[in-house]
Amino acid sequence: MTPKRTYYEILDIAEDASFEDIHRAFREIQSIYEPGSLSTYSLFSTKERTAILTEAEQAYQTLTSREKRDAYDRKLVDDGRLSEKKRFANKTKTPSPVFTTGTPEGNGRVEKTVKEKTAGAAFSKLRQKMQAKPAISGRDLKALRQGAKISLADIFEMSRVSITTLRAIESDNTATLPPSIYLKGFLKSYAECLDLDPAVIVRGYMANISQVS
Amino acid sequence: MITANIGTLLARKGKRVMLVDLDLGSSNLHTFLEVSDSQKGLDRFLDKQVDALEKAAVPTAVPNLSFIGSRHCGTEAANLYTAQKQKIIRGLRNLDVDYVLMDLGAGTNFNMLDFFLTDNQGICILTSEPTAIENTFNFIKSVYFRVVKRTLKLSEFNQVTKKMDLSGNRLDQSFLIVNEIAKNDPEIGARLKERLKEFQFKFVVNQVRQKDDPALGTKIEKVCNRHFYSRFTFLGNIRYDEKVHDSIQLRQNFISRYAYTKTANDLSRIARNLLEGDDKEREEKKGAPDPMKEGS
Q: What is the DSSP string of B14-51?
A: T--EEEEE--TTS--GGGGTT--TT---HHHHHTTSSS
- Higher-confidence residue of A61 and B157: namely A61
Closest Cα in chain B, distance from residue A19 (Å): 21
Give Cβ neighbours of residue B62 (< 8 Å, ≥ 6 apart). B8, B11, B12, B256
Residue A9 touches partner B, C-beta closer than 8 Å = no
- Among the partner-chain residues A12, A38, A42, the one whose CB lies closest to the CB of B216 is A38
> Which of A67-76, A143-152, B177-186 shows the lowest per-residue confidence on average (mean pLDDT)?
B177-186
| Alpha-carbon separation of residue A5 from A26, A66, B187, B220, B228 (angstroms) | 16, 20, 21, 21, 15
What band does A202 get if pLDDT is binned at 50, 70 and 90? very high
Domain range enclosing B168: 2-121+137-189+243-285
ipTM of the complex as predicted:
0.74
CATH code where residue B271 lies: 3.40.50.300
Checking DSSP bridges between strand B121-127 and strand B200-208, what pairing results, if any? parallel
Q: Is residue B114 assigned to a domain?
A: yes
Q: Is residue B47 assigned to a domain?
A: yes
User: pTM here?
Assistant: 0.67
Interface contact flag, B130 A40, Cβ < 8 Å? no
> If you average pLDDT over residues B231-256, what whole number do you get?
89
pLDDT of B3 over the 60 cut: yes
Which long-range contacts (C-beta less than 8 Å, at least 24 apart) are formed by B152-161? B152/B188, B152/B192, B156/B188, B159/B185, B160/B184, B160/B185, B160/B188
pLDDT at B1: 83
Checking DSSP bridges between strand B292-295 and strand B99-103, what pairing results, if any? parallel
Give the tens place of pLDDT for each residue, A101-155: 555 445 577 888 888 888 888 888 888 888 888 899 999 999 999 988 999 888 9
> Which of A71-80, A110-119, B59-68, B283-292 shows the lowest per-residue confidence on average (mean pLDDT)?
B283-292
pLDDT at B70: 79
Residue pair A155/A76 in contact (Cβ under 8 Å)? The answer is no
pLDDT at B166: 55
Q: Determine the number of helices (DSSP H) and then strands (DSSP E) in chain B.
A: 12, 8
Q: Is the dihedral of CA B264, B116, B201, A55 positive or negative?
A: positive
Q: Is residue B197 assigned to a domain?
A: no
Q: Is residue B33 assigned to a domain?
A: yes
Q: Which of residues 174-233 of B touch A (CB under 8 A)?
A: 175, 213, 216, 219-220, 222-223, 226-227
> If you average pLDDT over residues B99-118, what whole number do you get?
84
Q: Is residue B156 assigned to a domain?
A: yes
Q: Is residue B238 assigned to a domain?
A: no
Give the tens place of pLDDT for each residue, B274-283: 988 888 887 7
Domains of chain A in start order, with CATH, are 7-91 (1.10.287), 107-212 (1.10.260.40)
Amino acid found at A128: Q
What band does B81 get if pLDDT is binned at 50, 70 and 90? confident
pLDDT of A211 over the 60 cut: yes
Interface contact flag, A43 B137, Cβ < 8 Å? yes
B137: which chain A residues are within 8 Å (Cβ-Cβ)?
A: 42-43
In this structure, what is the dihedral angle of CA atoms B2, B6, B12, B16, given to the nearest 10 degrees? -120
Count of residues in chain A: 213
> If you average pLDDT over residues A50-67, what whole number do you get?
90
Q: Is residue B199 assigned to a domain?
A: no
B128: which chain A residues are within 8 Å (Cβ-Cβ)?
A: 38
Chain B residue with CA closest to A49: the answer is B223
Interface contact flag, A39 B220, Cβ < 8 Å? yes
pLDDT at A2: 53
For B125, the 3-state DSSP assignment is strand
A43: which chain B residues are within 8 Å (Cβ-Cβ)?
A: 137, 175, 223, 227
Looking at residue B234, the DSSP 8-state letter turns out to be E
Q: Which helix (H) or strand (E) holds B89?
A: helix B82-93
pLDDT at B294: 44
How many domains in chain B?
A: 1
Chain B residue with CA closest to A38: the answer is B130
Q: Mean pLDDT in chain A?
A: 85
pLDDT of B75 over the 90 cut: no
Q: Is residue B167 assigned to a domain?
A: yes
- Among the partner-chain residues A32, A41, A42, the one whose CB lies closest to the CB of B222 is A32
pLDDT at A106: 52
Q: Which helix (H) or strand (E) holds A124?
A: helix A121-131
Name the residue among B177, B116, B103 with its Cα closest to residue B143.
B116
